[in-house]
Amino acid sequence: MKRFLLVCCCLFLSAITNAQQGDIALLRTIYQTEGSKNAVYALSQSAYPITILCPVLVYGLSNRKDTSALLNTKRVVYSMATAALCTYGTKWLVHRARPYETYVDIIPYNKEIDPSFPSGHTSMAFNTAMNVSMLTHKNWIKISAFTWASAIAYSRLYLGEHYPSDVLAGALIGAGSAYLSNKAQHWLLHRKSKNKLANVL
Q: Are 58 and 79 in contact (CB under 8 A)?
A: no
Under the banding of pLDDT at 50, 70 and 90, the label for residue 27 is very high
- Given pLDDT bands bounded at 50, 70 and 90, which one contains residue 8? very low
Is 119 within 8 Å of 163 (Cβ atoms)? no
Query: Considering only CA atoms, which of 168, 172, 173 is closest in space to residue 156?
Result: 168
The yes-or-no verdict on residue 194 having pLDDT over 90 is no
Tell me how many degrees the CA angle 74-90-107 measures, rounded to the nearest 5: 110
Does the pLDDT of residue 125 top 60, yes or no?
yes
Q: What is the mean pLDDT of residues 188-193?
A: 66
The tens digit of pLDDT for each residue in 166-185 reads 999 999 999 999 999 888 87
Q: Is the pTM of this model over 0.75?
A: yes
DSSP 66-91: STHHHHHHHHHHHHHHHHHHHHHHHH
Tens-place pLDDT, residues 47-91:
999 999 998 888 877 766 666 777 888 889 999 999 999 999 999
pLDDT bracket for residue 198 (50, 70, 90):
low
Can you tell me the mean pLDDT for 135-150? 93
Give, in degrees to the nearest 5, the angle at Cα 161 between 160 and 163: 85
Question: pLDDT value at position 110?
Answer: 86
Nearest to 97 by CA among 81, 85, 114, 84: 114
- b/e sequence 123-160, b meaning 16+ C-beta within 10 Å: bbbbbbbbbbbbbeeeeeebeebbebbbbbbbbbbbbb
